[in-house]
Amino acid sequence: MEILTRRLLAVVLLAYAPAARAATVITLVPNGLVDVRTGKGDWRPVGEAETVTAGQTVRTHRNATAELRFSDGSRIQLQSYAIFAIDKTDRQETGFSLKMGKLKAAFAGLLSSKISIHTPTAVCAVRGTVFELGVENKNTEVTMAEGVLEVKDDKGHQAVVTSEETMKVGVDGMEKPRMLRLNDNRALPAVRPYAVHQEMARAATRTMLEDVRNRELKANEAQLGKNVVDAFGRRVRLEEYVLRPDANSFELLFLNSRQGSFNWGHYLETFAAPIPNDLSQIPAIVASGIMAPNQPSNWLKSIEFYATNTLDAEKELFSYGDPVQINFAGFGKGVLWYPSSIVETQTLYGPGVPNGQRVQFQQLTDYNQSNPGLFTWIQYVQAGSPAADNLQPMFAAVMDPAQTDPTNALSPAKGGNVFLLNLPVYNNTNTTFSFPNGPSKTDLLASTTYADGSTLSVEKFLLDDAGKILSLNPSGGGVFSQSGSYNLEFKIDSSLFQGRSIDVLLAPSIIQQTGQAASTPDKL
């Protein structure tokens, strides 16, 4: 690799630097009577174009002009009655002298490191310039066309002269450069290439500032908005909003727009008392009512998860009773505050659902209400016909949270006492779990067939923004415990939805960081 790099570098350097840089070649092209001499030698006339070198001087006579053409493209035009000497042409410095007369010069600026023209009263250092220079009676007049020129006088003063400026340098020093009048025949057109390049560079800086500012744009951050791809390769525009329906609750609203479809839903938490404006305290309030050592001052009353395709909908509602003290010795805990009841209700809505809506599944949990001193669970499911609403009890369980004797049927270690309330319904209600994209992918399909023949399935995906299904977290901690920039998608199907699906996509952290919400989709 190193050898390759060296070779590449060598090739590049060779390309940029030919064997030797050619010396400056100056061609003198006479037009009329033009003389040249070397050093202090005699003048000789120049009949046709010839090469001149350092140490030579060029002289033009009446009605004659001469042009000096340089190998880098620079040109100097000598007017009549001019005497012009080529003093030096090495790489570091190219020097000329205008002893009398006028010239017009256009320098590319590449002849050598420094290029200068001396007059009896001034030294002009060229930067890359088109200008006129004249010497008359030891007075020098410089008129810039385009570019920049540095002029020094004998008194040690210097001035930088730019486009369309003119100045005089006499034996007493230099005058202040001034702009040419617009009607001066040396003035340039208002719009010309060099000036436009300059103007565009200046304007680009200002426009760039607007571009930079524009980058700061972002949707109001109360919404978590982004544009992603779902598990089925469709583009989804996602927005989320937090709302405060009343002082005791807050609501998270999420909206998905796909081509030709719109799905949305919400997540609503309601509390027993007003919640603070600073909603970052909410997780602590929730925790204070569930297995908490101290009596809570505020607690969660309900959680509602709702998803719809605008025709069909599915709702999960968790309702919590007021916290009571319960002895959790059977769980190795002490006396803690816990909701006196938890009611989970799953409701389906839509034109294909009997009566437009019906409860598909319900689970009632209470402490000390159905059975003194005990937890009681009862599950209800649909068990009539798919066209009717016939919710029937299926299963019940009773448990004593204080029971520490593992031989006792009511103890947590035994799982409590289980009662099948309706065996045919129990046998005909089946839930299966599968991984449609393989066991290593976060694509979990839970399908339930109810005793009445109706079905409900929820497929849950963890995706990146490009719609790629993620792998299961290898470090464990649950199937959907990924963290980071991922999205969670639910595709909900039911035999009661007449062939339509509900397909909602959320920012992942909403579910993964909220225990109650995380349990919701698993139970769908």
- Binding to other proteins in span 168-187, by CB under 8 A: 174-177, 179, 181-183, 187
d(C-alpha 32, C-alpha 444), whole Å: 96
d(C-alpha 423, C-alpha 518), whole Å: 30
Determine which residue in the list 51, 205, 294, 475 makes contact with other proteins, applying CB under 8 A: 205
Q: Give the residue from 154, 128, 130 showing the smallest Cα distance to 142.
A: 130
Least distance in angstroms from the C-beta of 82 to other proteins: 27
Determine which residue in the list 5, 92, 137, 475 makes contact with other proteins, applying CB under 8 A: 92
Determine which residue in the list 162, 390, 392, 404 makes contact with other proteins, applying CB under 8 A: 162
User: What tokens were used for 473?
Assistant: 């977290």
Q: What is the DSSP string of 400-446?
A: -TT---TTSTTSGGGT-EEEES-HHHHHT-EEEEE-TT-TTBSEEEE
User: In the Cβ-directed half-sphere of 451, how many Cα atoms lie within 13 Å?
Assistant: 20
Q: What are residue 201's phi and psi, to 5 degrees?
A: -65, -40
Residue 161 as a binder of other proteins (CB under 8 A): the answer is yes
- Which residue type, as a one-letter code, is found at position 361? F
Binding mask of the shown chain, residues 476 to 515, with x at each position contacting other proteins by CB under 8 A = -------xxx---------------------xxxx--xx-
Q: Give the residue from 59, 125, 61 showing the smallest Cα distance to 93.
A: 125
Long-range pairs, 389-394, Cβ under 8 A, ≥24? 389/354, 389/355, 389/358, 389/359, 390/452, 391/358, 391/359, 391/362, 392/422, 392/425, 392/451, 393/421, 393/422, 394/420, 394/421, 394/422, 394/425, 394/426, 394/429
137 vs 185 by CB, closer to other proteins: 185
* Total number of residues that touch other proteins (CB under 8 A): 105
Q: Give the residue from 504, 490, 456 showing the smallest Cα distance to 353.
A: 456
For 4, the enclosing helix (H) or strand (E) is: helix 2-16
Alpha helices in 301-408 (DSSP H): none
d(C-alpha 458, C-alpha 438), whole Å: 16
Least distance in angstroms from the C-beta of 70 to other proteins: 12
112 vs 449 by CB, closer to other proteins: 112
> Going by C-beta distance under 8 Å and a sequence separation of 6 or more, which residues neighbour residue 44?
35, 36, 37
Least distance in angstroms from the C-beta of 418 to other proteins: 34
Q: Which of residues 52-91 bind other proteins (CB under 8 A)?
A: 72, 91
Least distance in angstroms from the C-beta of 297 to other proteins: 19
d(C-alpha 131, C-alpha 110), whole Å: 16
Least distance in angstroms from the C-beta of 400 to other proteins: 33
Determine which residue in the list 32, 192, 273, 432 makes contact with other proteins, applying CB under 8 A: 192
Determine which residue in the list 6, 8, 45, 113 makes contact with other proteins, applying CB under 8 A: 113
Determine which residue in the list 141, 269, 344, 452 makes contact with other proteins, applying CB under 8 A: 269
Residue 294 as a binder of other proteins (CB under 8 A): the answer is no
d(C-alpha 136, C-alpha 123), whole Å: 15
Residue 43 as a binder of other proteins (CB under 8 A): the answer is no
245 vs 351 by CB, closer to other proteins: 245
Residue 469 as a binder of other proteins (CB under 8 A): the answer is no
User: What tokens were used for 178?
Assistant: 């001034």
Determine which residue in the list 25, 196, 311, 418 makes contact with other proteins, applying CB under 8 A: 196
Determine which residue in the list 63, 297, 310, 498 makes contact with other proteins, applying CB under 8 A: 310
**Secondary structure (H, E, C), 359-381:** EEEEEEEEECCCCCCCEEEEEEE
Q: Are strands 114-118 and 93-106 parallel, antiparallel or unpaired?
A: parallel
Q: Which stretch binds other proteins (CB under 8 A): 54-62, 78-86, 215-223, 359-367?
A: 215-223
Least distance in angstroms from the C-beta of 156 to other proteins: 12
Binding mask of the shown chain, residues 336 to 375, with x at each position contacting other proteins by CB under 8 A = ----------------------------------------
Determine which residue in the list 1, 212, 355, 475 makes contact with other proteins, applying CB under 8 A: 212
Least distance in angstroms from the C-beta of 495 to other proteins: 25
Q: Which stretch binds other proteins (CB under 8 A): 42-50, 74-82, 213-221, 322-330?
A: 213-221
Determine which residue in the list 38, 223, 370, 447 makes contact with other proteins, applying CB under 8 A: 223
Q: Which of residues 378-437 bind other proteins (CB under 8 A)?
A: none
Determine which residue in the list 250, 320, 337, 395 makes contact with other proteins, applying CB under 8 A: 250
Residue 464 as a binder of other proteins (CB under 8 A): the answer is no
Q: What are residue 36's phi and psi, to 5 degrees?
A: -145, 150
